[in-house]
Amino acid sequence: MELLWWHWVVLGLALVGAEMLVPTFFLLWFGVGALLVGGALALAPDLAPSVQVLLWTAASVALTVLWFRYFKPRTKTQAGSSAAQIVGEVGLLTRAVAPFERGEVRFQKPLGGSDTWTCIADEAIAAGERVRVLAVEGSLLKITKN
């Protein structure tokens, strides 16, 4: 069977359309690879079917690797947050804190992998107050009134 340029274009459009139904962002690159082969066949119509399939495979793999290795937006988890990223955050004190006593502060979004942290303060602060993180001391947050 002879593969014509429009066969590849139809395959490419079908794969891109399937990506809309299955949002994995994986089929897209095989569809774009098929469209590239269709374009190459429009310019050089005498390519053998085995070369066409080889081009499609190479283009699809190359596009997939480029996407996942270099262009995909990096998602950063908060579990690896540094102390510098936590300092300055504002939270709600859920358990009162006093000098030499520990309290508990809750944040709207998780910081360092948790939305609730044990805290210390230089002054007494009642539960329900908004507080700001001054420093990270081991596994405790040093806080002050906001």
Query: Which of 41, 71, 101 is the endpoint of a domain?
Result: 71
Poorest-pLDDT segment among 13-27, 95-109, 126-140:
13-27
Shared domain check, 139 and 88: yes
Asked if 34 and 12 touch (Cβ cutoff 8 Å), the reply is yes
For residues 22-41, average pLDDT: 91
| Domain count of the fold of the chain | 2
Q: What is the pTM of this model?
A: 0.52
Query: Between 29 and 110, whose confidence is greater?
Result: 29
CA distance 85 to 87: 6
Please state the φ and ψ torsions of residue 9, each to the nearest 5 degrees. -65, -45
What pLDDT shows up at residue 131? Answer: 97
Shared domain check, 34 and 13: yes
Poorest-pLDDT segment among 34-43, 76-85, 115-124:
76-85
Query: What is the Cα Rg of the chain in Å?
Result: 28
For residues 126-145, average pLDDT: 93
Task: Indicate if the pLDDT at residue 132 is higher than 70.
Answer: yes
Report the phi/psi class of residue 143: left, alpha or beta, with left for phi > 0 and alpha for psi in -120 to 50. Answer: beta
Shared domain check, 138 and 95: yes
N- to C-terminal Cα distance for the chain?
74
Range of the domain at 104: 78-145
Instruction: State how far the alpha carbon of 142 is from the alpha carbons of 21, 36, 37, 77, 138, in Å.
Output: 49, 57, 60, 23, 10
Alpha helices in 67-114 (DSSP H): 83-86
43-81 pLDDT tens trace = 999 999 999 999 999 999 999 999 888 877 654 444 455
What pLDDT shows up at residue 76? Answer: 47
Task: Indicate if the pLDDT at residue 84 is higher than 80.
Answer: no
What pLDDT shows up at residue 74? Answer: 58
Query: Which of 71, 101, 128 is the endpoint of a domain?
Result: 71
DSSP three-state, residue 40? helix
What pLDDT shows up at residue 103? Answer: 96
